[in-house]
């Protein structure tokens, strides 16, 4: 463990935890959008509000990075983690926005399965963020999120295969693939968050 000569600003941990909790809320709203009879425009607006809150958290972290002399861990790792958390929310919000903009009807069941994976990965992320303070019991987190990302990859491939097997007309298939791409990107970004946490744990241990 490196020697610290000045007090560290530990509020970064609170910001990361808040951002991760927003991912849980965002994934929940995304799941609600897929339910039959859901008010998709209203839910998409709620998700957009959560995304704006996440943006504010990211901006706060960046401002603090510019004014804090001693940080709890390397600045580049704080920057990376904050941005990766924000990326997840951006992809989820984009998926919700496309569902509304494209005025899609029933979505493939695979979309709901990917969202369930996102919900589990977001919950794992929210559980892990407070543990950054002590850098303990984090390995299970990044292993599980990696496993969940692999699961999302498999579902994504099956989704794309289904979209282009003749079940959907070409335009609808392309619209649905755009949504699937954003959901897959969200799963990838959650894995990036876990990778960032693993990097921090390795450096600081």
pLDDT, tens only, 42-90: 999 999 999 999 999 999 999 998 888 788 888 999 999 999 999 999 9
Residue 50 lies inside a defined structural domain of this protein: yes
Q: Is residue 30 part of a domain?
A: yes
Residue 1 lies in a domain: no
> pTM above 0.85?
yes
Residue 147's domain is classified under what CATH number?
Answer: 1.20.58.220
User: In this predicted model, what pLDDT tens digit does every residue of 18-39 receive, in sequence order?
Assistant: 999 999 999 999 999 988 899 9
Q: Whole-number mean pLDDT of the chain?
A: 93
Domain assignment of residue 190, yes or no = yes
Q: Is residue 103 part of a domain?
A: yes
Distance CA 105, CA 12 (A): 41
- Rounded distance between C-alpha atoms, residue 74 and residue 79, angstroms: 9
Residue 167, domain member (yes or no):
yes
Residue 4 counted as domain residue: no
Question: What local confidence, expressed as pLDDT, does residue 121 receive?
Answer: 98
Count of the separate structural domains present in the chain: 1
In a domain, 47, yes or no: yes
Separation of alpha carbons 102 and 25, rounded Å: 23
The confidence score (pLDDT) of residue 8 equals 54
The domain in which residue 186 lies consists of 11-204
């Amino acid at each position: 463990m490196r020697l610290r000569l000045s007090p560290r600003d530990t509020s970064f941990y609170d910001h990361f935890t808040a951002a991760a909790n927003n991912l849980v809320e965002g994934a929940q709203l995304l799941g609600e959008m897929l339910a039959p009879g859901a008010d998709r425009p209203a839910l998409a607006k709620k998700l957009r509000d959560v995304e704006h809150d996440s943006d504010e958290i990211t901006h706060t972290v960046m401002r603090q990075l510019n004014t804090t002399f001693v940080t709890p861990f390397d600045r580049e790792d704080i920057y990376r983690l904050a941005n990766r958390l924000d990326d997840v929310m951006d992809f989820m919000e984009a998926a919700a926005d496309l569902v509304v903009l494209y005025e899609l009807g029933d979505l493939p069941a695979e979309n709901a399965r990917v969202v369930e994976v996102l919900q589990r990965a977001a919950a794992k992320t929210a559980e892990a963020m407070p543990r950054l303070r002590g850098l303990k019991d984090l390995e299970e987190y990044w292993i599980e999120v990696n496993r969940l990302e692999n699961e999302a990859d498999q579902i994504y491939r099956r989704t794309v295969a289904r979209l282009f097997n003749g079940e959907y007309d070409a335009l609808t298939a392309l619209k649905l693939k755009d949504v699937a791409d954003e959901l897959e990107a969200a799963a990838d970004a959650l894995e990036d968050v876990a990778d960032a946490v693993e990097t921090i744990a390795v450096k600081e241990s």
